[in-house]
Amino acid sequence: MAEVLEVKEEKIIIDERPPVGEERVFTERPPGVAPIKPEFIVKKSPNEETTSTNGDQSKPNKNKRRGMNKKRRNEMHKADLIVRAKTVRLCHSAFRDVPCKFGEKCNSEHDIKKFLEQKPADLGEKCPVFDFRGTCPFSYACRFGNAHVDAEGKQTTKEVDSPYEETLNSHSSTGVLFKIRKKQYDYSKTKEILKAIKENRIGSMEREPVRLDMKSIRGKRYLAPLTTVGNLPFRRMCVDLGAEVTCGEMALATCLLAGNASEYSLIKRHPSEKIFGVQLAGGYPDAMTMAAELIADNFEVDFIDINCGCPIDLINDKGAGCALPTKEKKLFEVIAGMKNAMEDIPLTVKLRTGLKEGILTADKTISYMAKNCRPDLITFHPRSKEQRYSKAANWSFVEPCVKAADGVPFFVCGDVLSWEDYYERLEKNPIDGIMIARGALIKPWIFTEIAERRNWDIRSNERLDLVKKFVDYGLDHWGSDDMGVEKTRRFLLETLSFQCRYLSPFSFFKIVFLFRYIPVGLLEVLPQKINDRPPTYVGRDEMETLLSSPRASDWVKISEMFLGKTPEDFVFVPKHKANAY
């Protein structure tokens, strides 16, 4: 068992930062290790170092605890199918008093009384969906159903403080998916644009003035598009905490054009997102132009971003992500086609330093775009495709790229985890703003810290309130029935896993470092550096220790506080193997 050092209340004080020009030196702390106060560090016993996970007194196989769980999606998908097969669901026709469109083939329950006899106990006394909307569309199937049932067992409604606003960009109300799947959608504008590009007369085509001058977002707090975790409930929470510009998760142009419903969920927008963009990825000018036309004509967006920075091989093998800037002609066709198809909607581009580490090509790409197919804003992540997210971002390469942009509004993203990092980078670099990515994953309240220029020593109960807020927003978005509850749980666990995870670059699967939020009151020196590896530590109370845990089993415990016990066959596989121990 690990020995926990005594926690002394009188020492829980935030140390003042050293005066400018002075540094505090801690000789006992190895380089790259977070400066946590000694009273919170956990000492490992000699036996613990040599004990494997199955209790044998032999050295554990470290290779089994390294790298990515590549089969995790399949494992979780199989488990979901088993859980769904065992779950009794109430058909919507039962409480809407309409005929079931599936008839005898429907595998859901139609008898409300019989359903209620089999339904598990409610998860809580209050229904978040009912509180937000004044009514719950999931009726008797809601896992908080008693909150909106009267003494006679009938569904009720109530007045809410502010009128409920439906989620924007809902494909179900526009009929877009129906037209796409039936191949009835009219892409005549795209055909004309692609023809003009082929005949070298695209420059003569007039484009309307953009509705949003991207220079107007200078200095605004910008939440980056985040795959998997940058969902609508997370963005909504970040807006509450001070984010001013948001962008949806990366959507594949080809999947949108195929009518993939799950892909359209990535471009949904909450009414609280005042400046909202959609990010598209693709390597084919025709597909990207058609997707841009589709979004511009049917959905409420303030800008569309081209993903030229995704390092995933699956995306790059199709000519998208980091591979797109390497082909100037295709890049020109994509940008020129999309700009003309989008009419008055701004077009932005996000890219990296290049493909290989140490071979910097972004300045040439940016210069080419500025001269030939000028975007309305450029976001730069100073890391290469090969580098992924390891090592420090190369901020020294920012200024040459800004000069190459020739006046195009320029944002940078990379290694910002505190308000000090944020303003220091703004002051030292001739840029228009900073996009926050991993910093928002590790601590979503970074936007509050930036706005108020302070280190927020957020306590465990406040962090738990944010988890509750995410859960409430998730239930409002994904639903409060059985399926909605489990989907909310999945994304909550993904969010918790991104806040505390091991980072493995390239394909070698050697653990480089663990990034995790460390409470301000536990640090000897502020601010926390994003690449500092934290030693094993305890918090100031049990909940703070639990919220800091890198173990997937502890994340599940946190989810059960708000969403009840996991189903019998529930499986959550963390992205990185080390998190499973």
pLDDT values of the chain reduced to their tens digit, one per residue, 581 residues = 343 334 333 333 333 444 444 444 443 567 778 899 999 999 865 444 433 333 344 444 555 555 667 777 788 878 888 878 888 889 888 887 788 988 888 988 899 999 999 999 999 999 999 999 999 999 999 999 999 999 888 999 999 888 888 888 876 656 888 899 999 999 999 999 999 999 988 876 777 889 999 999 999 999 999 998 999 999 999 999 999 999 999 999 999 999 999 999 999 999 999 999 999 999 999 999 999 999 999 999 999 999 999 999 999 999 999 999 999 999 999 999 999 999 899 999 999 999 998 899 999 999 999 999 999 999 999 999 998 877 789 999 999 999 999 999 999 999 999 999 999 999 999 999 999 999 999 999 999 999 999 999 999 999 999 999 999 999 999 999 999 999 999 999 999 988 776 554 443 444 444 678 899 999 999 999 888 888 889 999 999 999 999 889 999 999 999 999 999 888 888 876 666 54
Q: Which two tokens stand for residue 353?
A: 């330093």
Angstrom distances, CA of residue 107 to CA of 87, 88, 95, 96, 559? 11, 9, 16, 17, 29
Query: Which residues contact residue 577 at a Cβ distance below 8 angstroms, ignoring those fewer than 6 apart?
Result: 64, 65, 66, 67, 68, 69
Q: Which two tokens stand for residue 278?
A: 């959609």
Q: Which of 142, 308, 310, 322 is labelled catalytic?
A: 310
DSSP result, 209-266: PPSS-GGGGTT--EEPP-TTT--HHHHHHHHHTT--EEEEEEEEHHHHHTT-HHHHGG
Instruction: Write the DSSP symbol of residue 355.
Output: S
Spatial contact of 286 and 190, defined as CB atoms under 8 Å apart: yes
Alpha helices in 258-377 (DSSP H): 261-264, 285-298, 313-316, 328-342, 362-372
Q: Is the pTM of this model over 0.85?
A: yes
Spatial contact of 95 and 115, defined as CB atoms under 8 Å apart: no
Q: How many CA atoms lie within 13 A of 515 on its CB side?
A: 21
Instruction: Write the DSSP symbol of residue 208.
Output: P
Name the pairing type of β-strands 513-516 and 500-503: antiparallel
Instruction: Write the DSSP symbol of residue 433.
Output: E
Q: Which two tokens stand for residue 467?
A: 């988890």
Q: Is the peptide bond before 99 cis (omega within 30 degrees of 0)?
A: no
The H or E element containing residue 545 is helix 542-547
Active site residue 255: no
Taking CB atoms within 8 Å and a gap of at least 24, the contacts of 172-176 are 174/298, 174/299, 176/264, 176/294, 176/298
Which residue segments constitute the domains of the chain, with CATH numbers given? 1-164+459-520+538-581 (no CATH), 173-456 (3.20.20.70)
For 558, phi and psi rounded to 5 degrees? -65, -40
Q: How many CA atoms lie within 13 A of 201 on its CB side?
A: 6
For 460, phi and psi rounded to 5 degrees? -60, -35
3-state secondary structure of 385: coil
